[in-house]
Amino acid sequence: MIPSSFPDKTEIARLTARMLLEIRAVHFNPEQPFTLASGLPSPTYIDCRKLISYPRIRATLMDFLAVTVMRDAGFEAFDNIAGGETAGIPFAAMVAERLALPMSYVRKKPKGYGRNARIEGEMSEGQRVLLVEDLTTDGGSKLSFVDAIRETGATCGHTAVIFYYGIFPETLARLEGHGVRLHHLCTWWDVLAEARRQEAFDSETLSEVESFLSAPRAWQQARAGA
């Protein structure tokens, strides 16, 4: 069923943060920071992949994502929903089901045998494709997927994620410079606000997380190699 009536963006962000906290997808640990793919430290980590194991929560969030895209981009804006390998694949399938659209997925790189394809499923020239992923940090990984989609002759001017870090100012500029608009449900700021409401972590931890969110590069540089 295609969703049509849901809360406003502020309430969607609060409820999304609440669900992520409820399933313990949110991890805060300033004392023993996590190492990001960049190699830099972070006191925060989000595991959106856990969502696929919680049917009620995943269904609600996919409704939220579908209606967010329709509200922001248009109700007839897309012809194909593409998931990024691997975390984006299940979410793309669920969004495609809600929007009654074909689904495909994009490999990180050609598989190296057979057709050596990056696009799996049907995607054709002129189709308007929405790229769906679980999250975005600085937007960098999205650009490779977008380029692979465009190489088919399709267009890709939008990407939708459940979680957007919302702390690196270059992210939106990077995506917009590539002709891509970002749609998301919540950010670290929404999660921090909900964690404070719930008292989900001690006040010292939350204060240190806020310090990181306010100046992430400075926080990382001060602790890199520590």
**What's the pLDDT score for residue 116?**
66
Three-point CA angle 181, 187, 190, nearest 5°: 140
- What is the per-residue pLDDT across 150-179, written as a single tens digit (0 to 9) for each? 999 999 999 999 999 999 989 999 999 999
Q: What is the arithmetic mean of pLDDT over 133-157?
A: 93
**What's the pLDDT score for residue 163?**
97
16-218: CATH architecture: 3-Layer(aba) Sandwich (3.40)
Is a pLDDT exceeding 90 seen at residue 109? Answer: no
State the pTM of this model: 0.94
Is a pLDDT exceeding 60 seen at residue 58? Answer: yes
Phi-psi region of 24 (alpha: psi -120 to 50; beta: other; left: phi over 0): left
Contact call for residues 19 and 57 (beta carbons, < 8 A): yes
Tokens of 50: 């856990």
Domain spans of the chain, in order of start = 16-218
- What is the per-residue pLDDT across 176-190, written as a single tens digit (0 to 9) for each? 999 999 999 999 999
